[in-house]
Amino acid sequence: MKTDKKTSKLFDSLVKKGTLKQLVYQNTLTSLNFFKKGMRDLTEKYENLDSVEAKKLPFIYKDKSKFEGELKFAGDILVFLMHTNVFEFPPDHEVVKTPYVNEDKERSYCGIINIFNFLSDSFKYNRMNDVGYLVARIFINKDMNYFIEGKREMGFLYTNFGNAVLNQESAFEILESSIYYTLNFDLLTPPYEQVREVTVQEFSAEIDSMQIKTGKRLGFQFNADIK
């Protein structure tokens, strides 16, 4: 059966877009594996420390799945989680306005690796009501260029998008920065006014399974993060 021009154009567009997304997906997966290798290397270096104090503190890497890696240290857990889909930025996003993207619109299609911080006790004691904190989001495109959305300690300017390349070296730097940020992001006492009252049911549940939410910033949730 002969394909007309309209259908042929449709198929060309489909193949082009699908090929682009597959490339971005593969680049993002490759980037996640850079982070996983960095976590493995750090774990080995930590295990070789000649320090009695260090031996008392956990520093453990777990390869949770194809799309997830986990690093546990002291009282924290960092989770590197890759989203399996590819995203485009809205027209008013700052990335779209950069010369780098204006030269080639396909550069704005990105995969995402999310970095989450959890308290290790949340998992140890099965505190299902505890909440994690999104430390940063890493965006990777077809050229292996990247930028980071996050707090001041983690975020890159959008203008660096065309110059920053995600490789093993840059992944290790991001990993170390994430650990530094987590170590300095301390657990704060919740305001007295938020916890002065508790029902019998809540108290009983707290005794049974510690269900009162715990987080690192004001209150038991990350509702107000002071910069």
Question: What pLDDT, on a 0 to 100 scale, did the predictor assign at position 222?
Answer: 31
pLDDT at 128: 75
Q: What per-residue confidence (pLDDT) applies to 227?
A: 38
- Residue 119 corresponds to which amino acid? L
Contact between 89 and 96 (Cβ < 8 Å): yes
Question: Amino acid letter at 74?
Answer: A
Q: What is the pLDDT of residue 59?
A: 94
From the CB of residue 13, how many other CB atoms can be counted at a distance below 10 Å? 10
Of 96, 92, 66, nearest to 81 (Cα)?
Answer: 66
User: pLDDT by residue for the chain (227 residues), tens digit each?
Assistant: 777 889 999 999 999 999 999 999 999 999 999 999 999 999 999 999 988 998 899 999 999 999 999 999 989 999 999 999 999 999 999 899 999 999 999 999 999 999 999 888 888 878 777 778 888 999 999 999 999 988 665 655 566 888 999 999 999 999 999 999 888 876 655 565 655 555 556 656 655 554 555 555 533 333 333 33
pLDDT given at position 207: 54
